[in-house]
Structure formats: C-alpha cells, structure tokens
Amino acid sequence: MTKPAITVVPSSSGFAKRLAHIGGRVALSALRLRFRIGSRLHAARAVRRACDLFCTPLPQARRRARTADMQDAARERLRAKGLDLATYRWGDLRTEPWVLLVHGWSSCAAAFLPWVERLRRSGYAVVAFDQPGHGLSEGSRADLPAFVQAAHAVAGLHGKPAALIGHSLGGAAVAVAMSEGLRTDRAVLISPAADLAAAIQRFTRVMRLPDDFGDRMVAAFEAGSVPIDALQAHRIAPRIASEGLIVHDSEDREIPLEEGRRYARSWRGARMMTTRGLGHSRILADDQVIAAVLSFLAENEQKGRR
C-alpha cells in the first residue's frame, strides 16, 4: 500500500537537527571539533564519550512528557532494573483486549496520543510507558537492551497483549522482545531500526568523525552490554511467530526504508506498507497510517470470531 506524497521532508538530516538541540548549531560544531581532536589524542576516551552521547536521550524526551495532556490516563510507576518507569493505562485490561505502545528514541509515551482514542473506539484497552531516561521515567541513559527489558517488564504486569505497536527504536525493541518470547497475536513496527551498527555509522558521519571511528564504537558496545550483531533484524526476525505489519516511509531521513524492508524479508508472518512524504516522525500521527494499522488488528479479531 502506498500513500500519496504530502510534504517533502527537509533536506538536512533529521538526526543532525536533533543533535543540534543539545545547544544549537554552535554547540554542535564545538562538539564535533572536540571529538575530532579527542579521536586523535585520546582515542579510547573519545570512543567512550561518543558511546555515552549515543546512549543519551535528547532533552525533548523530557519536555514533551511534562507538557502532554495525559489526564485521562491511569498513571502508575513500575520498578524495573532499579529504575522507576512511568506507565499510562486507558481502559480495563481485565475485560478488554489490550495493546502495548512502545515509543522510540528521544520520544515518550505521549507520541502515541493520536492512537489512544482510535484504539479505544475499536474496543482495545491501551498501555504505554516512558522508556528509561525518557519522559517521566528515571534514568539518564538508555540503549536497545534497556528498551527491550522495559517492554518485557510492562507487558509482564498484565498478561499477553493482543498487539504490540512500536515506533523507531521502540519498533526494534518490540521485535527483539518477541524473538525472546514475549507473546502477542499481532505486532506493528513503524519506521523500525534494523541495524544499530548502521545507526552508529550515521552518528559518526553527523559528528564528522574518522571513517574507522564507528567500527571502534561498535567494538566497544559489543565488549559491553549491547550485542550489536545479534540484534540485527535478519537475526531476530526469523524467530518471531506472530503476524506483523511493517510501516515505513520512503523519505525517512533518520532510519532508511531499507531497514523496514529487512524486517519484511526476514519475518515470515509480516507484510510491508510503504508511505511517502511522512518522514520519520509525522508517520506516527498520520490518520491513514492509524486506520491501516487498526484494519490489520481487526483481521485478528475477525479470525477469533470464526
């Protein structure tokens, strides 16, 4: 399914624009210079600092959560891996099938607010949460394994969800969690990240670091707690038993369309929906995307009634 073009995405990298929010373009230029000098004089220290920056959510992850209108949600705190996570619930999970929403990097649960009313009207209870270091949850750093652990922890409170919906790194977290045994009937990955090594290389290009710097960052993560290679889409997707829908925009400048296609090629029960003109973030609030996902979820309800 292809959606007509709407608005052309800005020509500059969305990733670079987000990094500029650290303190403006002057601060970004200074940061680039500091890393370039550090990579020559103190390479190991520069790699450690780059890995820390890569795992540090931008301030927007906090700001949006503080101003979002979540008054109609039942709010709870969940202790997981030593951190308090902010969770949000709509509906009665004891009597209604429920959907777990998993936001992406430098985002928060409020990014899914356009979905809540539509899901409720379709008969679903809804659960969302702020990832570690994001929104109103504790922590200052996060990575894909932390996203996955949080998804397991929240899902484990309420039993099997009818569906999982994840955006960006949250989409990758949903896929990894399912490959590790998190059960659901259907899952939707929107603009999912498929390859952390590729994300690291994009980061080093934005920071204008030497060609081999990304490889050194990957090696540092592999030596720590982030198994970069094992988390690639083509390794995890074949282990997923649920049916899936992957939605990705052809003009996504943060996570290329090819990463969504990698899930579609490796996940036997998945289908692909491509949009155009929505980019990486606006796709999450698009009415036609939400309608297509609800139609996909309804197929499972129809099967259950036969």
For residue 33, give every residue at least 6 positions away whose Cβ sits within 8 Å of its Cβ, in sequence order, or none.
none
pLDDT at 18: 55
Asked if residue 304 has pLDDT above 80, the reply is: no
User: 148-186 pLDDT, tens per residue?
Assistant: 999 999 999 999 999 999 999 999 999 999 999 999 999
Q: What gap in Å lies between CA 89 and CA 128, rounded to an integer?
A: 7
Q: What gap in Å lies between CA 296 and CA 191, rounded to an integer?
A: 17
User: 113-162 pLDDT, tens per residue?
Assistant: 999 999 999 999 999 999 999 999 999 999 999 999 999 999 999 999 99
User: 3-54 pLDDT, tens per residue?
Assistant: 322 222 223 345 555 555 545 555 667 777 777 777 777 788 889 999 999 9
Which pairing describes strands 125-129 and 163-167: parallel, antiparallel, or unpaired?
Answer: unpaired
Mean pLDDT along residues 183-201: 96
Q: Distance between terminal CA atoms of the chain?
A: 27
Side chain identity at 236, as an amino acid letter?
A: I
Tokens of 108: 């928060």
Q: What is the CATH number of domain 14-305?
A: 3.40.50.1820
Q: What gap in Å lies between CA 78 and CA 76, rounded to an integer?
A: 7
* 3 state DSSP class of 289: helix
Dihedral over Cα of 108, 281, 296, 258: its sign: negative
Per the DSSP assignment, residues forming a β-bridge with 98 are: 125
Q: What gap in Å lies between CA 128 and CA 165, rounded to an integer?
A: 10
